[in-house]
Amino acid sequence: MVDIATRVYNHKWKIDPIVRSLIDTDFYKLLMCQSVFRNKPQTDVVFSLINRSNHIPLANLIDEGELREQLDHIRSLGLSRGESTWLRGNTFYGKRQMFRSDFMEWFENLRLPPYHLERKGDQYELTFEGKWHEVMLWEIPALAVLMELRSRAVLNQMRRFELQVLYARAMTRVWEKIEKLRKIDGLGIADFGTRRRHSFLWQDWCVQAMIEGLGPAFSGTSNCLIAMRREVEAIGTNAHELPMVYSALADSDEDLAQAPYDVLSDWHEEHDGNLRIILPDTYGTQGFLDRAPDWLAGWTGIRVDSGDPAAGAEIAINWWKSRGEDPTQKRIIFSDGLDVGKIQELHSQFAHRTKVSFGWGTLLTNDFRGLVPNDALAPFSLVCKAVSANGRPTVKLSDNPEKAMGPKDEITRYKRIFGVGAQESVEVIV
């Protein structure tokens, strides 16, 4: 096993690029990329980095030259023969050849498009512009680079034994969490921590700890490279990005109201089984489900990713019942801001009423809270989102108004069209 503290201490030797593969990304990005490649190949988008924790002065912490070096390295990456073979030949969710040959031929020749980086005060403005299916693949590596460079900025001030003690404490914390999770009968949990991880090496260590500590209760990781190397399931379906862009492309209020369902109609044609998971909260869960076509009720389950998770699960269960479906045969995936206490609580509350699983993210792969002075390694909320499509702004409402994004007038319009009323704010930690 890698001695992480020593590798961190030796980062001055530049032996560890932050992103080392095009598949050092989340599985859902590749699934969505194939769908976009097929259905919206001529769509132009702009992605932008958004630091929701603006008290973290990234431009003061991270050297611009080092940031450019890491981003330029990512642009040099191409799919290796082994990675291509894994994507083409592996079985994902029980299905072989998940990725079609035309998509794979394109992906095998891909180099990520240029980026635009500019310092604005104590933050960086980082944007990516081009065809949707190319630009979207910047999101995860861009976030991973910024998160890890911030970690390195703190770690570079520490000496060898300080680093050894730091990682010993962090490892103990993760293992204590795993020991608590072991006690949950029927637990199903996956690593969703790529985008805001402390580092690649740390995420890889966390996955290995979960494999050993949880056995069959650990269902896999969203990170494709780690899934391939550790021979575990690659986990993921789709994200808010799809309805955000589809909605921005809508030409009328009527088309806008239909856009989130058009996304899932396109998805329905490509995938079945466990990939048919609804993410309903982009423009409000309750309204989305109230207006949903009956065929969506037949899907496998729902992912709860914002707002009060228990309230979101109750909405889903009531909706299935209203559509004549048996909630005990459906799956609810909780994936927002989870840690052990919340996982225990939600499992206890819902495991006897539906199939429950968890996508555990930042507080698995980046929980260094309280381990260094001034809490300088505490996780923070950094996102990289599609902000426009074919020149039109994108909007996200969420079930938590603190996560809403887009121009104010467009947010007001979307709330009217999707019937979103008063919402309860929930603090965004990660």
The 10s digit of each residue's pLDDT in 106-124 is 999 999 999 999 999 999 9
Answer yes or no: is 47 within a domain: yes
> Token pair 């590798």 is at which residue?
7
31: pLDDT strictly greater than 80: yes
Number of domain units in the chain: 1
- pLDDT mean over 33-56: 95
What is the pLDDT at residue 13?
47
Quick one: which of 15, 38, 8, 167 has its CA closest to 99? Answer: 38
What stretches of 51-138 show up as alpha helix (H) in DSSP? 58-61, 64-76, 81-89, 101-108, 132-135
Contacts 24+ apart (CB under 8 A), 16-19: 16/200, 16/201, 17/70, 17/73, 18/70, 18/141, 18/144, 18/145, 18/148, 18/149, 18/199, 18/200, 19/70, 19/73, 19/74, 19/77, 19/141, 19/144, 19/145, 19/200
What is the pLDDT at residue 316?
98
What is the pLDDT at residue 429?
60
Which residue segment(s) compose the domain that 254 sits in? 4-418
For residues 365 and 204, what is the distance between their CA atoms, to the nearest angstrom? 9
DSSP secondary structure letter of residue 109: T
- The pLDDT confidence band at residue 430, using thresholds 50, 70 and 90, is low
What's the one-letter identity of residue 154?
A: V
15: pLDDT strictly greater than 70: no
- pLDDT mean over 124-146: 98
56: pLDDT strictly greater than 70: yes
380: pLDDT strictly greater than 60: yes
Half-sphere exposure of 96 (CA within 13 A, CB side): 2
Angle (deg, nearest 10), helices 253-270 and 241-248: 140
Quick one: which of 62, 182, 195 has its CA closest to 119? Answer: 62
Q: Are 406 and 394 in contact (CB under 8 A)?
A: yes
Answer yes or no: is 131 within a domain: yes
| Per-residue model confidence as pLDDT tens digits over 236-276 | 989 999 999 999 999 999 999 999 999 999 998 888 777 89
Answer yes or no: is 100 within a domain: yes
C-alpha 396, offset from chain centre: 15
Q: What CATH code is carried by the domain that includes residue 105? A: 3.20.140.10
3 state SS of 376: coil
- The pLDDT confidence band at residue 12, using thresholds 50, 70 and 90, is low
Answer yes or no: is 60 within a domain: yes
Q: Are 169 and 370 in contact (CB under 8 A)?
A: no
Highest mean pLDDT among 265-269, 303-307, 399-403: 303-307
C-alpha 376, offset from chain centre: 23
What is the pLDDT at residue 92?
94
What is the pLDDT at residue 298?
95
Answer yes or no: is 427 within a domain: no
422: pLDDT strictly greater than 80: no
10: pLDDT strictly greater than 90: no
Q: Are 9 and 90 in contact (CB under 8 A)?
A: no
Quick one: which of 382, 412, 383 has its CA closest to 395? Answer: 412
Contacts of 430 by beta carbon, 8 Å cutoff, 6+ apart: 196, 337, 361, 362, 363, 366, 379, 380, 381
